Structure 1
Amino acid sequence: MKHTTRLSYLMQLSWEVQRKKHISRAKALQAAWAITLNEDVTIYYLVKRHANRNVPNKVEARELALFSSH
């Protein structure tokens, strides 16, 4: 992924965090940076958290990505 594309994803994510959590710009950027740096852990956590125990997941956690490359 290009550097500028990665930065635009980071900015979009931080704006979303800032808007939803009503926090300062600096804290939102820090949260977005942490999410993008720990992408594999974040995806695994979200899949496990939102998975139904009775129905297996349609997609394996290792096949998911936070941002799909264009």
Structure 2
Amino acid sequence: MRFRLLADLCEDGDCPKVYEYKPDADYVALQGYRLSDDELAELGEIPPGEIVIKFPRALVTHIPTEVREA
């Protein structure tokens, strides 16, 4: 498997999550909420191959320290 769950804030599995991305230790994978068209318009052009998501700020504090400091 390429992904390992590192953090989430829910018990039912239907919420934003942070995953370890095993093929490249410099990255984590984030599951969050889509931005609306209005929100995306405020950000300007997003480069090809990139997306912007939103997820709870509180989730950041649940990411294991070894991942944040890697």
TM-score by length of 1: 0.24
Q: Which structure has more strand as a fraction of its residues?
A: 2
Q: Which structure has more helix as a fraction of its residues?
A: 1
